[in-house]
Amino acid sequence: MNNITYDSTSFIINGKKVFLYSGEIHYFRISPQEWRRRLLLAGQAGLNTVSTYIPWNFYEPEKG
C-alpha cells in the first residue's frame, strides 16, 4: 500500500514529491477506438493526471 501525504506544494507518495501535471479528455467527444491513443499522447506530453467529466444531459436526458 502506498503512503500518500500532502504538503503546501505537492503530493508526497512513498516519500517522493509528486507534482500533478494535468489535462482533460472529453471521452464522449472522441470515438472509443481513440481513447488509448489520446491517453498515450497525454502521457508523452508529460501529463501524469487526466480529468474528465460525465455529461449527464447525454446519459440522462430526462430528470430522474
55-62 long-range contacts (CB < 8 A, ≥24 apart) are: 55/28, 58/28
What pLDDT score was predicted for residue 49? 96
> What does the pLDDT look like over 13-58, one tens digit per residue?
999 999 999 999 999 999 999 999 999 999 999 999 999 999 988 8
Contact of 23 with 45, CB cutoff 8 Å: yes
Extents of the domains making up the chain: 21-64
Residues in the chain: 64
Global pTM reads: 0.74
